[in-house]
Structure 1
Amino acid sequence: MSGASSKVLLEHYLKTLKLPSILREHRKMAAVCQAEGADYSTYLLRLIEQEIHDREQRAAERRLKSARFPVVKTLDSFRFEDQPSINQPLVRELAHGEFIKERENVLLIGNSGTGKTHLATALSFAACQMGFRIRFFGVTGLVTQLLERREERQLERFFKQLDRLDLLVLDELGYVPFSKMGSELLFEVVSRAYERTSLIVTTNLPFESWTEVLGSQRLTGALLDRLTHRVHILEANGESFRLQDSIRRRKQRQSKKKS
C-alpha cells in the first residue's frame, strides 16, 4: 500500500472512530515528535491526551449550555463581606459538590437582592465544571413549562429529562402564587427528585408563608417534608446588594461633584 493510500485510509478510520482531534493533529504531532526525537509511544500518548482533553472540553461546553444559566456567576465575584449573615464556610464546603453525590438539597432563604441567585448559580456552575448535569429554572418559568407540556401531552417526557439531572436549581420561589394545577406539578418535580436528584431552591419566604404561593397547606407540608429531609440551609438577612450599589454610586457622584 502506498504512503498516500495509507494516509487516506488512516483519516477514514479516524473519522469512523470519531477521533477529530487526532485527525486534526496527527501530522503536526508527527513533525514535532520527529524534531524532538521522541519515540512512537510518546507520539501516540500525546495524540490520545489531546483527544481526551478536547473531548472533556466539548463535554463541559455542552453541560454549560444545557444548564441554561441566566448569567454565569462564580464564588470569586460574590462579596461575602457585604453579606456577613451568610455562612461562608458552608458555602465553600458546598462548592466541592459532595452534597450532590449524597443527594442532599440546598435552600437559600432571605430578602430580595441579598445574593441568593448569585450563590445558587455559583454553586451549580462549580458543579457543572466538575461534570455534574445541571438545569437552572426560575420557578415561575418552570411551572409555566410544566403546564404547557401537560397541555401538549409531553409532561412525562419532560419529567424524564429532569430525572436524568444530577442537580436542579429552582430560583425565586415566592414571588408569584401558582394555580392549583401549577402547585401540584411543582410538587411532582420535587417528589420525583427526592433522594434521586439534588435541588437548590432560593426563596424570599419563610416556611410558614409558602402556603401563600402553593395554595394548599397539605401540599406545602408534603413538599417541605421532602425538600428539607436532607438539606443545607443558607440564610441571607442583610441589605440588598442592589441597594448598597445604588448608595455607593450616589456617594461617588456626590464626591466627584464636590471635587
Structure 2
Amino acid sequence: MNNQTLQSLRQLKLTGMADGFEQQLAQPSTHSELGFDERLALLVDRERTHRDNNKVGRLLKAAKLKLQAFPEDIDYSHPRGLIKSQFAGLLSSNWIHQHHNVLITGPTGCGKTYLGCALATQACRHGLSVRYYRSSRLLEALSIAHGDGRFSKLVQQLAKTDLLVLDDWGLEKLTLGQRNDLLEIMEDRHGISSTLITSQVPINHWHKAIGDAMLADAILDRLLHNSHKIKLRGESMRKTKSEIAEVDQLE
C-alpha cells in the first residue's frame, strides 16, 4: 500500500510529499510518536518547500544573471561606501513591490554588477520575475527585433518583468533610435515595475550620455523618480584581492 501511495503521489506530481513520505517510512522511530495531523502537516510543508525551490530555480534561470551572487556573501568590510543598513533594506525587495528603481554607480571593480545580481537573486527568492541585460546587448536586441518584427513582443515581455537589470549603463552615446527604444521601455515600466541600473558614469553625467536633451529629460525623469541611489567609491576590489593573494603566496 505504501508503494502504491508513493506511486500515486509521483503521478500526481506531488514530488515533495512523495519525498517526505519516503523519509517518514525510512525513519519510523522519528515519526512514530507523531499523530496523523502532524505527519500530514509535515508532508504538506515539504511539498510547499519543494514547489517554492523549483519556482526560484525557474526564475533564476529565466533571469540569465551575469554572476551567481548571493546576498549572504556580500563584503561590507571593504571601504567602498556600501552602507549595510541601506542595502539590507533593499534585500527585502519591498522597493520592487513599490515599483521603485535602484541606481548603483562607482568606478570599475567596486562590485556594482555583483551587488546588482545579488539584489536580483533575492528578488527571485521572493518570487519576482527578473531579466538581466548588459545595456549595449539590450539595445542591440531591440535593434534586431525592429528588423524581424519582434519589437512589440520583446517590449511587452520587458514590461511584464518585475525587475529589469541594466548593467554597464551609459558607456556609449545613444543613437536617436536607441533613445526612442529606451524611452518606450521606461514609459511602459514607470510606476508599474522596477529597473536596476549599474554604471561607471556618475548620475549627473547621464543626461549628456543619452545625448538628446528632450529625450534625456523624459528617460531620466522616469528613472530617477522614486529611485534608491548607491554611490560606491575606492579602489578596485579585484586589485585588493589580487594583492592579498600575492601576500598569501609569499607567506
Q: What TM-score range do you get, normalising by the shorter chain? A: 0.7 to 0.9
The question of whether the paired residues in 1 share the 8 Å contact of 2:130 and 2:163 is answered with yes
The question of whether the paired residues in 2 share the 8 Å contact of 1:173 and 1:202 is answered with yes
- Aligned residue identity for 2:13: K
1:96 to 87, 92, 95: 92
2:66 to 45, 67, 70: 70
Cα displacement (A) at 1:40 = 3.4
Corresponding residue for 2:14? 19
Cα displacement (A) at 1:129 = 1.4
The question of whether the paired residues in 1 share the 8 Å contact of 2:16 and 2:49 is answered with no
Corresponding residue for 1:159? 155
CA RMSD of aligned residues (A): 2.8
**1:13-46 Cα distance to aligned partner (Å, 9 max, x none):** 863x432333555466467569715443334323
Match runs of 1:1-259 below 5 Å: 7=4, 11=7, 15=11, 17-23=12-18, 26=21, 29=24, 36=32, 38-251=34-247, 256=250
Distance verdict in 2 for CA 1:207–1:20, change over 3 Å: closer
Report runs of 4+ in structure 1 exceeding 4 Å deviation.
10-14, 23-28, 30-35, 249-253
For the residue of structure 2 that corresponds to 1:146, the secondary structure is helix
- Aligned residue identity for 1:19: L
- Aligned residue identity for 1:87: I
The question of whether the paired residues in 2 share the 8 Å contact of 1:111 and 1:237 is answered with yes
The question of whether the paired residues in 1 share the 8 Å contact of 2:15 and 2:50 is answered with no
Cα displacement (A) at 1:70 = 1.2
Q: Give distance in 1, aligned partners of 2:241 and 2:231.
A: 21
Cα displacement (A) at 1:236 = 1.0
Cα displacement (A) at 1:169 = 1.0
TM-score (structure 1 length as normaliser): 0.83
Cα displacement (A) at 1:94 = 1.1
**1:215-248 Cα distance to aligned partner (Å, 9 max, x none):** 3122111111111110111111212222333444
Q: Which segments of 5 or more consecutive residues in structure 2 lack a partner in the other structure?
A: none
TM-score (structure 2 length as normaliser): 0.86
**1:187-235 Cα distance to aligned partner (Å, 9 max, x none):** 2212211111111111111234324542312211111111111011111
Moved more, 188-197 or 28-37: 28-37
The question of whether the paired residues in 1 share the 8 Å contact of 2:9 and 2:15 is answered with no
Distance verdict in 2 for CA 1:19–1:237, change over 3 Å: same
Work out the percentage of aligned pairs sharing the same amino acid. 24
Moved more, 100-109 or 75-84: 75-84
The question of whether the paired residues in 1 share the 8 Å contact of 2:174 and 2:210 is answered with yes
Q: Give distance in 1, aligned partners of 2:206 and 2:48.
A: 47
Distance verdict in 2 for CA 1:27–1:250, change over 3 Å: closer
Q: Which segments of 5 or more consecutive residues in structure 1 lack a partner in the other structure?
A: none
Larger Rg: 1
For the residue of structure 2 that corresponds to 1:65, the secondary structure is helix
